[in-house]
Amino acid sequence: MNIQKTIGLQKMLGLAAALFCAGQAHAYNCSGVAQYVDGRSYNANAIVQNAGSAFSCKVSGWCTIGGPYAPGTGWASGEAWTNLGSCGTTATSSTPTSSVRSSVASSTPVTGGNCPNWAAGTTYLAGTVVKYNGAFYLAEHDNPGYDPVVSTWYWEPTASCPGGTNTSSSTGNNGTCAAWVAGRLYYAGNTVSYNGSFFRAKYDNPGYDPLISTWFWEPTSSCNGTGTSSSVSSNTNNGTGFAAVVSEAQFNQMFPGRNPFYTYAGLVAATNTYPAFAGTGDIQLKKREAAAALANFSHETGSFVHVTEIARGLYCSDWGNLATCPCEPGKQYYGRGPIQLSHNGNYCAAGAALGLDLRRNPELVEQNATVAWQTALWFWMTQSGAGYRTAHDNIVNNYGFGETIRTINGAKECNGGNPAQVQSRISEFNRILQIIGGTAGNNLGC
């Protein structure tokens, strides 16, 4: 809880710079330039037009993914595309991104469907289409009713209302999912009916066939999206709890550059101490908790690179009740492990819960992988930290990922304290969810 994830901050600063530069773009002659199609294969240097501007592909792999990498509208657009300029007009640096997106939506033909009007405070799931000020907007990510014109990371303009709302897998029930439509944009978590069966989108896609494009879709037992497909099962272990939700292969894919200290086996062993972790509720809730914990732990350790705090200190304080938890001579209680356990009081409390003498032997947290993971899960499952409840309770009772951030470091990051760090955690959460095929739920920020 003392390490800042500089990598995530750098990415956010890079994104901000990309957006700023986009505001400086000159006019570009878009005559003859093809319209961008989400999910279509694009090679490096390919030029397309989208959202009123022209873009050149920088990285073919990312340009092809679409969704978050869509030119000018995706939240990671700047990593995949170079903004060549607006089509026929010059964008100025004084024009905010939200205003540009609003004008695009307003100039788009309003046709089709019967989408509901956007309502502040209403929870919207990825794929939902709403009407706002005469234009349509598609939710790119779950959100608790953010303004479509202001919160452009969560919403994108869309040309029409395609038959109403595309509900995500966390809503709906048996038999009421929208029928799959070829060519319609679907986001991870959307559930559709197709030939009498239900399919859930594992990844954003531009309407690929659920039976053919099995990498993008998985069968599910109902519109609740609680079923698992054979493709997902083949990537998971035949265990219980966390091991049944996240496989070792997926864990390795999530953190390929991690410190070897952070072993998958140690994590699985630690979850035996807290079986309710990633073992509560339906499969989507279990995946959500696993992803939420790993995202926060990753943030605290620089993607599991750091085992100990960089700026080490004694961290012996009387708030830890020195009368009952005195600091052992010669020992230091600096941050260690996935949650960066720090201060003598926390070492005493965690040790008591785990049956370990961490007061006299704090170095166990940096020497034993299972103990390190156990301290992180101890905090996750039992401590309310700077928040209102434990991180576990925040997820299983649907308070949202944002409240787990508040529990861990809300005093410094939430309520506008450090929005870049909050966004870094959210981005990591969404990245991990995409790997395991989970849905984000509501209330991502704090």
Taking 3-state DSSP, the helix, strand and coil percentages for the chain, each rounded to the nearest 5, stand at 35, 15, 55
C-alpha to C-alpha distance for 343 and 108, rounded to whole angstroms: 57
C-alpha to C-alpha distance for 188 and 436, rounded to whole angstroms: 11
| CB neighbour class for 175 (10 Å; exposed up to 12, middle 13-18, buried from 19) | exposed
442, 144 contact by CB (below 8 A)? yes
C-alpha to C-alpha distance for 327 and 201, rounded to whole angstroms: 52
| 300 assigned to active site | yes
In angstroms, the Cα distances linking 200 to 82, 231, 245, 439 are 32, 12, 17, 10
Pairing of strands 81-87, 27-28: parallel
Which of 306, 407, 321 shows the shortest CA–CA distance to 359?
Answer: 321
* Catalytic one of 300, 309, 403, 413: 300
Tokens of 298: 């990753």
> Which phi and psi (to 5°) does residue 56 adopt?
-115, 130
Which run of H or of E encompasses 24?
A: none
**pLDDT of the chain, 446 residues: tens digit per residue:** 544 333 333 334 343 434 333 334 457 888 888 888 876 777 777 888 988 888 888 776 667 766 667 888 876 677 678 888 888 743 333 333 333 333 333 333 334 456 788 887 677 776 778 888 778 888 776 666 777 876 666 777 877 665 343 333 333 334 446 788 776 767 667 788 888 788 887 776 767 888 777 767 888 776 643 333 322 333 333 446 899 999 999 999 999 999 999 999 999 999 999 999 999 999 999 999 999 999 999 999 999 999 999 888 899 987 657 788 999 999 999 999 999 999 999 999 999 999 999 999 999 999 999 999 999 999 999 999 999 999 999 999 999 999 999 999 999 999 999 999 999 999 999 999 999 999 999 999 99
User: Following DSSP, what letter does each residue of 355-420 receive, concatenated?
Assistant: T--TTT-TTHHHH-HHHHHHHHHHHHHH--TTSSS-HHHHHHTT--HHHHHHHHHHHHHTTTT-HH
**What is the reported pTM?**
0.50
C-alpha to C-alpha distance for 146 and 314, rounded to whole angstroms: 43
C-alpha to C-alpha distance for 129 and 66, rounded to whole angstroms: 18
Which of 271, 263, 191, 278 shows the shortest CA–CA distance to 226?
Answer: 191
